[in-house]
Structure 1
Amino acid sequence: MRNRLPGREKKYTPGICWRNLKDDKSPLFKNRVLLPTLVGLNGDASQMWEAMMTKITQVAKETLGVTTRMICRHKESWWWNKDVQDKIKDKQESFREHIRSTDEAKRVDLRDAYRKVNKEAKKVVAEAKNTAYKRMYERL
């Protein structure tokens, strides 16, 4: 277990629970954002942008909820599926093999294998993200 330096506290940032858009709160959020803003579109672009941004965040906080989450290395991954999990696991195993290798010739081969697996994992992650975001935007 790591010892923390004295005087350092954990940092927390409040965040909107955007993952709740998957639930039955999506139509409520959509109605509360769109209906009032269609009436009040006046002013220049920056004023309209600021008004829309504050309206969306206010409605999101009220309907979706706010969480206090600890800042950590891993980001939210609600879009992950089984393929992504398998590819990431393969990538991690390949990296561990590369790091643990002591033979220089074998290490070069393992590095090349890791790079190949890493590229495949990036492709699968990008595809999963794109499909998940497309589904989310279609629902909105």
Structure 2
Amino acid sequence: MWTSMATFLQKVAIEEFGVTKGSRREAKDTWWWNDEVQKVIREKKDCFRCLYLDRSAANMEKYKVAKKAAKRAMSEARGRAYEDLYQHLNTKEGERDIYKMAKIRERKTRDVGKVKCIKDGDDQLLVKDEAIKRV
């Protein structure tokens, strides 16, 4: 009974609202990547292609080694980049950057992304974010 009710509700919702493909995944945070990390990742991808074509034990072992090396290189590069960032934030110039980073983070987490203005029930044009959120 519940499954038929759920499928009926889903069918009605699809007819009323339609179906979307969903939003794109947000890009991974790669500002700390350097040439060394890219080289190691490229080697790992090449090993995976070889493993995909020929699933032999040698290729599997080669891929496992490349995967471990890639993880290690990525963690070391990320650690160095964050250490440099923290060193920079401890300086006078870095104190100003803290506020810039906070402002950027706040803008990214806002509910209203693309909508700049809408009309309310009285056909009044709303431009401010607070007014748009209330509607």
- TM-score, length of structure 2 as denominator length: 0.49
- TM-score, length of structure 1 as denominator length: 0.48
The higher relative CO (CA closer than 8 Å, separation ≥ 6) is in: 1
